[in-house]
Amino acid sequence: MASPPQIPEADEKSPESKDLLASQTASSLCPSSRSGSVWTTAPRSNWEIYRKPIAVVSVGSAVLLLGIVLTALAYALQLPAEQEKGFRLSGPAFLSVGLMLLVCGLVWVPIVKKKQKQRQKSVFFQSLKAFFLNR
């Protein structure tokens, strides 16, 4: 029977493994931290920044309009009892979901703008810090 490979003691480890352990930083251990992503990303276009809020506002508007149409049809048309009940229940449901998505998208836009300003300020202060520390 072969014996299992032995793990070298702390003082027997190779210098490469010591360098690897010492070089790990908080951003490499925690990939979702802000420090790594803020400084390494390239500038993005406005479409890339506002694409998701625009999509949420668009879908919310469409669903809200569908809710308005269904609610108007439920009260304007003389339908059988089963169909009328379906229209009267689905119209306000689409209205509320559409309004919720529309408001969420409209609130998201100023949040993204504020985040972009903070990101620009942090990049500016990082460059100032690098300028003064590298003198």
Q: Which long-range contacts (CB under 8 A, 24 or more apart) does 16-24 make?
A: none
Q: What is the residue whose two structure tokens read 């790990």?
A: 24
Residue 116 near residue 49, CB atoms below 8 Å? yes
pLDDT tier at 33 (50, 70, 90 boundaries)? very low
DSSP class of residue 31?
Answer: T
Residue 102 near residue 60, CB atoms below 8 Å? yes
pLDDT in tens, 47-75: 888 899 999 999 999 999 999 999 898 88
What number of H helices and E strands is found in the chain?
5, 0
pLDDT in tens, 98-121: 999 999 999 999 999 998 888 888
The answer, as to whether pTM is greater than 0.85, is no
Percent of residues, the chain, with pLDDT higher than 70: 69
Element (H, E) at 133: helix 81-133
